[in-house]
Structure 1
Amino acid sequence: MIFVVSILLLILYAFKIKDWKKNDHRLNPELSIYLKYLHYFTITITIVLLILELQIRGIWTGRIVTFIVLLSGIFYNLFAQKSVLNKLEKTYFSFLSILPLIFPLLLLIPFLGVVIVFSIIGRTISPFEKICYEDKNLRIQTSFVGVMAPPKILVYKKGLFFEKEVEDLYFPEEIDSLKVDYKKDSIYIHYWETNYDNQVVKSEIKIPQ
């Protein structure tokens, strides 16, 4: 069934891309240029922050920037004037327009393809599953890792405009409660979790101030 759906999605999207050329309701050249530079600006910010291992402060802010990058890139050829693009830019945006075809292709892989696709979609759409603790300096949350994996606990240290992931716990147990203590030179995060033996275990994370 998944194989049939994948083939149908591939065919449908391929025909839709072909029909994009017939779209008469496009942005004017000036707005097309603005959209192009909006894409370049947001993707540059995204790449720089990835290199610096930072993200814009706020749970949803980074996701909004990511959505702008994806939507402005994938659907540029549908809504904008290609006449404002040079040859390299036309190739670039044409490549982005076929990126969604990756998902039906992945679905052709038995079982693993479904896991990969839903994991990618889940991580893109949802920046967190649960906020365990938050104040003006820290945010502790559980985040979606993948369809077959339990949530991961992430600790973010907040700055004025950006925040940085300072700790992550892979394959954690379920957190029952936690407490944050601010000391002179460090931040101590105490949390209690129930392990697979149904025992409550206390753990501690130390973060430099």
Structure 2
Amino acid sequence: MTWDDILPLLWPATVETAVMVGWSTLLTALLGLPLGVALVVFDRGGLRPLPALKSALGFVVNVGRSLPFIVLMIAIIPFTRLVVGTTIGTAAFVVPLTVGAVPFFARLVETALREVGADVVQAAQAMGASRTAIVVKVLLPEALPGLVAGLTVTVVALVGYSAMAGTLGGGGLGDLAVRYGYQRFETLLMIVTVVLLLVIVQVLQSFGDRVARRLSHK
């Protein structure tokens, strides 16, 4: 296989990976952020202590984080089919990618929020701020650098998950590496795919780190 054969295969696979990671990142942020906030707010000593609810949420998050992604993909096949009507293709694998990443990101959100100084929250409470205002105007802005760093780690993990999804028909660079690089013994294509994945991860990590540093300096 030559470069003329590889390039036409590489571009569509890269686009499929970008679509899977992009949509799953968006959904993960939308679902994982409030879940992480809830883990902090409902904890003992939180803004709205509900230990039983916090424990239940923590259990769900821990279960989600403990499952290997390839097992999760298989386990939620009925749910994936219910949501998108199919279990094969790029759109279908956005579902397990999101389900796998939400608990992971929620814990990172929780960690970032816990790093906000208690004195800042107490000052807002002394000024009569509501719980919602404290979360929106104090906790989240103060924790923003950590939240960006956590999201960056999550996106990098999603790139790896998306490559794994290719082994079960998810498309993208993982599928390309399996079908051509592994099954057809195309060593050059395998090397190119691995290098491209490494480059994508490095670019995403560097960009996220730069944004987090800029936010921390403000």
Q: TM-score range by the shorter chain?
A: under 0.3
Q: TM-score, normalised by structure 2?
A: 0.26
> As a proportion of its length, which structure holds more strand?
1
Q: Which has a greater percent of helix?
A: 2
Task: Give the number of the structure whose alpha-carbon radius of gyration is greater.
Answer: 1
Higher relative contact order (CA 8 A, sep 6+): 2
